[in-house]
Amino acid sequence: MNLEVLYETAPWEWPEEADEIFFDVLNDPNADPAQRLLAAEMAGNSVVANDKLARALLAIIENGEEAIKLRSQAAISLGPALEHAYIYEFDDPDDMLVTEKVFRLIQTALEKIYYDANFPKDVRRSILEASIRAPQEWHQKAVRAAYQSDNEEWQLTAVFCMGYKKGFEPQILEALENSNPIIHYQAVISAGNQGVEKAWPHIAELLSSAEEDLDLLFATIEATVNIGHPEAGLALGELLDSENDDIVDAAHEALAMLEAFSLLDDDE
């Protein structure tokens, strides 16, 4: 089956044998590089993720003869399965994307590869971004070191990771002032994910000034909900007067979520 067609198809409409299709392409070194890259990306989808595909992706990461871009994508594609396992903790093995054995195998392998300087920078960055979705103790040091790097790509990776790992509030607040728009955008997401209350003045300002950058504005709206500042409802309400229907819809949804959250107690 043509992978381009599958790529344009909703994952829940993929054929039952989609995982085998991706596996065969991933394991064919003579396949078109673009096809293998597509297969690596789609293999990370929760609809098809399983032990067999996870092992295939890990093998690509470890293979120094594979293209760096393919190895990086293979690492990123392991992220959803790692996060799913971390959240649900194998309470119901039948509902897991990968088994606990493979989950532990991947965690161990990715940590080892990350600290191996012989692996390309882009592969190691992707490994950090994927593995942080199931946070471990080693991530604290790794993220801190990446943020302190003089390399903006490493800094970007670090700020992304801060959204998954607690203990970086000062760095997130600092990153919100970064002149690099991509790092700034990721800092907004991380501030929201971690519920950084001190970020509210910056978030509030963005709500009234970021309409020209819709991606940033939508990230800011989501962060507003997650931070849950007492003035959040009023700030979101002002967006209801926007001439952009997408902004109005996002504001309505955010206000509904704020109301729903207000009805929950702390444990919930």
How would you write 71-85 as a 3-class SS string? HHHHHHHHHHHHHHH
Structure tokens at 260: 């729903």
* 84 domain residue, yes or no: yes
Burial of 162 (0-12, 13-18, 19+ CB in 10 A): buried
Task: Evaluate whether residue 187 is within a structural domain.
Answer: no
Mean pLDDT of 82-102: 92
Q: Tell me the pLDDT of the chain averaged across its residues.
A: 94
Using CA atoms, how far residue 46 sits from 53, 95, 114, 161, 268, in Å, is 11, 11, 24, 21, 26
Please tell me the predicted confidence (pLDDT) of residue 61.
Answer: 98
* pLDDT number for residue 264: 59
pLDDT grade, residue 208 (50/70/90)?
confident
62 domain residue, yes or no: yes
Distances (CA, A) of 18 to 36, 42, 44, 56: 14, 9, 12, 15
In the predicted structure, residue 210 carries a pLDDT above the cut 80: no
Q: Which residues of 73-86 are buried (b: 16+ CB within 10 A; e: fewer)?
A: bbbbbbbbbbbbbe
Q: Which two tokens stand for residue 21?
A: 């299709």
% of the chain exceeding 90 in pLDDT = 91
Centre a 10 Å sphere on the Cβ of residue 112 and count the other Cβ atoms it contains: 12
Residue 247 has pLDDT above 80, yes or no: yes
Q: Is 72 inside a domain boundary? A: yes
For the cut 80, the answer to whether the pLDDT of residue 185 exceeds it is yes
26-40, 41-55, 218-232, 251-265: segment of lowest average pLDDT: 251-265
- 27 falls within a domain: yes
Which residues neighbour 82 within 8 Å (Cβ) at sequence distance 6 or greater? Answer: 103, 106, 107, 130, 131, 133, 134
Q: What distance in Å separates the CA atoms of residue 174 and residue 107, rounded to the nearest whole number?
A: 30
pLDDT for the residue numbered 265: 53
Single out the residue of 180, 69, 185, 60 nearest to residue 121, CA to CA: 69
* Over residues 182-191, mean pLDDT: 98
Burial of 182 (0-12, 13-18, 19+ CB in 10 A): middle
Q: In this predicted structure, what is the pLDDT of residue 1?
A: 62
Domain count of the chain? 1
Q: Is residue 158 part of a domain?
A: no
Task: State the pLDDT at residue 209.
Answer: 86
Q: How confident is the model at residue 2 (pLDDT cuts 50, 70, 90)?
A: confident
Residue 141 located in a structural domain: no
Please give the average per-residue pLDDT across 91-106, as a whole number.
92
Would 235 be classed as within a structural domain?
Answer: no
| Domain span at 81 | 1-136
Q: What mean pLDDT do residues 148-171 have?
A: 97
Contact 72, 122 (CB under 8 A): yes
What is the pLDDT averaged over residues 81-105?
A: 93
Question: Which pLDDT value is given to residue 91?
Answer: 84
Task: State yes or no: pLDDT of 92 exceeds 90.
Answer: no
What CA–CA distance (Å, rounded) separates 43 from 214?
29
Chain-centroid distance of CA 126 in Å reads 11
Tokens representing residue 134 in the block: 């199931």
Residue type at position 142? A
